Amino acid sequence: MTPTTPGLHHVTAIAGDPDANADFYVNTLGLRFVKKTVNHDDTGTYHFYFGDERGTPGTNITFFPWTDRGRQGRFGAGQTRDAAYLISPGSVDYWVDRLESRGVGIDRSERFGEPVLRFADPDGIGLELIASEDALEADIRPWGEGPVPTDRQLRGFHSVTLAVDDVGPTAEVLTGVLGYEFQGETGDRRRYRTPEGGPGSVVDLVETDADRGQMGVGTVHHVAYKAADVEEQERWRSAFQDGGLNVTQVIDRKYFRSIYSREPGGVLFEVATTGPGFAVDEDVDELGSSLTLPEWLEDERERIEAQLPAFDGPNVEDGGK
Ligand code: ZN
C-alpha cells in the first residue's frame, strides 16, 4: 500500500535571543505560542513551537533559541531558504501594512500567479506570505486571543524553498521516495507538489552556487512532512530505505513520533505523525503557558530549569481589534 504523499508538518530553525524570537512570531506574525519545552537532545536549550490555536500540524514553525551567544549559522547549499505561510487572497494589503509598520522590509513579487511577500525574521531566517486560494481550504483553528484578526491570520504552510547545489538528487527523493510530482518552473525555481494538492503541498527547489551552509543561529534545521499515523510513518521509513537513504529509528518527540533522513542535497527531512498533538500535556486554553517536559526528563526538571536562559515572554500585544 502506498502511503498518502505527505504535506508539510512543521519547520524547525535556530534562533538567537528567545525573547526577540517569541515576540516576532507572536506579536508580528500573530501565531500562538503553543509549546515551551526543551530540545530533547540538548536540554539546556528551549524548544519553542508557534502555530494556530491548537498547534495543528501544518501550521507550526519551531525554534531552538541558542541565545545571542549561540554560533551564527551561514546560509548555503543544503538548506531551507524560505518557509512560506498561506494568507487569504484578500489579506495582502493588511500584511504589507502590518509588516512595514513594524519595520520589517518586504520584497513583493508574484510567483505562479500568486502574490508573494518575502522578508526575514529577526535572526535572518527567510519567510514568505503567499496569498492563495488554498488558504480558504486550510483546516486550521484561528487563535481568538491573538493580536491579528482571525480572518487575516496565517493559515498554515504554503511551501518551503530548498536551496541545493544540484536539484537532481533532491528532486529524485521528492518524487521517487515521497511521491511529489513536478508541477512547473519559473525562473530558477522548480515546483513540486503532492498529488492531492492543497495547503502545505508545495516544495520548491532552487540551485545555489553558495558553499554548503553551516547550521547555526539564523538557519533552518529541518523540514518535517506529515504521516497520518505510525503505520503510514513506517511505510515512509521503508520508502527512504528502498530509495537507498539512511533513516533513523522512530523517535518519540512527545507531541508526535519522528523519523529523520538527510537527502543527498544536504537538507534534513523528518516525517512526523500528526498525533498525539500539543494538548497531550496542557489544556488547549493553557498551551504554551508552562515549561513542559516529557516524562523521561521530568525527574531532572529542577536542573533543567536552572540551566535554561532567561525568558519571560511572550507578552501578547492587544491588536486593537
Ligand atoms: Zn522536527
The DSSP letter of residue 291 is B
273 contacts: CB under 8 Å, gap ≥ 6: 226, 227, 228, 229, 230, 233, 256, 257, 258
- The answer to the question of residue 143 being in a domain is yes
pLDDT for position 319:
63
Nine-digit cell at 73? 549559522
284 contacts: CB under 8 Å, gap ≥ 6: 53, 54
- The answer to the question of residue 78 being in a domain is yes
Percentage of residues in the chain having pLDDT higher than 90: 96
Q: Using the mean position of ligand 1's atoms as its centre, give its distance from the Cα of residue 5 in Å.
A: 18
Closest CA to 86 of 65, 56, 123, 64: 56
CA atoms within 13 A on the CB side of 26: 24
Q: Using the mean position of ligand 1's atoms as its centre, give its distance from the Cα of residue 253 in Å.
A: 8
Q: Using the mean position of ligand 1's atoms as its centre, give its distance from the Cα of residue 231 in Å.
A: 19
Closest CA to 272 of 62, 21, 19, 24: 62
Q: Are 147 and 176 in contact (CB under 8 A)?
A: no
Q: Using the mean position of ligand 1's atoms as its centre, give its distance from the Cα of residue 65 in Å.
A: 14
- The answer to the question of residue 262 being in a domain is yes
Q: Using the mean position of ligand 1's atoms as its centre, give its distance from the Cα of residue 62 in Å.
A: 8
The DSSP letter of residue 92 is H
CATH number of the domain that 194 lies in? 3.10.180.10
- The answer to the question of residue 133 being in a domain is yes
Over 70: is that where the pLDDT of 225 sits? Answer: yes
Average predicted confidence (pLDDT) for the chain: 96
Q: What is the tens place of the pLDDT at every residue in 41-100?
A: 999 999 999 999 999 999 999 999 999 999 999 999 999 999 999 999 999 999 999 999
Q: Per-residue confidence at 313, pLDDT binned at 50, 70, 90?
A: confident
Q: Using the mean position of ligand 1's atoms as its centre, give its distance from the Cα of residue 192 in Å.
A: 21
| Angle, vertex CA 38, rays to CA 290 and CA 262, nearest 5 | 140
- The answer to the question of residue 240 being in a domain is yes
Q: Using the mean position of ligand 1's atoms as its centre, give its distance from the Cα of residue 258 in Å.
A: 7
Q: Are 88 and 276 in contact (CB under 8 A)?
A: no
pLDDT for position 3:
58
Q: Using the mean position of ligand 1's atoms as its centre, give its distance from the Cα of residue 11 in Å.
A: 7
Q: What is the tens place of the pLDDT at every residue in 131-169?
A: 999 999 999 999 999 999 999 999 999 999 999 999 999
pLDDT for position 190:
98
Q: How many domains does the chain have?
A: 1
Instruction: Please state, in angstroms and rounded to a whole number, the distance separating the CA atoms of residues 117 and 130.
Output: 6
- The answer to the question of residue 180 being in a domain is yes
233 contacts: CB under 8 Å, gap ≥ 6: 227, 250, 257, 259, 271, 272, 273
Q: Per-residue confidence at 4, pLDDT binned at 50, 70, 90?
A: low
Q: Using the mean position of ligand 1's atoms as its centre, give its distance from the Cα of residue 14 in Å.
A: 12
Q: What average pLDDT does the segment 182-200 reach?
A: 96
Query: How many Cβ atoms sit within 10 Å of the Cβ of residue 161?
Result: 21
For 24, the domain range is 8-307
pLDDT for position 209:
96
- The answer to the question of residue 2 being in a domain is no
157-164 and 202-207 beta bridge pairing: parallel
Q: Using the mean position of ligand 1's atoms as its centre, give its distance from the Cα of residue 270 in Å.
A: 6
- The answer to the question of residue 314 being in a domain is no
Q: Using the mean position of ligand 1's atoms as its centre, give its distance from the Cα of residue 176 in Å.
A: 22
Q: Using the mean position of ligand 1's atoms as its centre, give its distance from the Cα of residue 113 in Å.
A: 31
Q: Per-residue confidence at 242, pLDDT binned at 50, 70, 90?
A: very high
Scanning the chain, the segments in alpha helix (DSSP H) are: 18-23, 92-101, 167-172, 230-242, 301-307
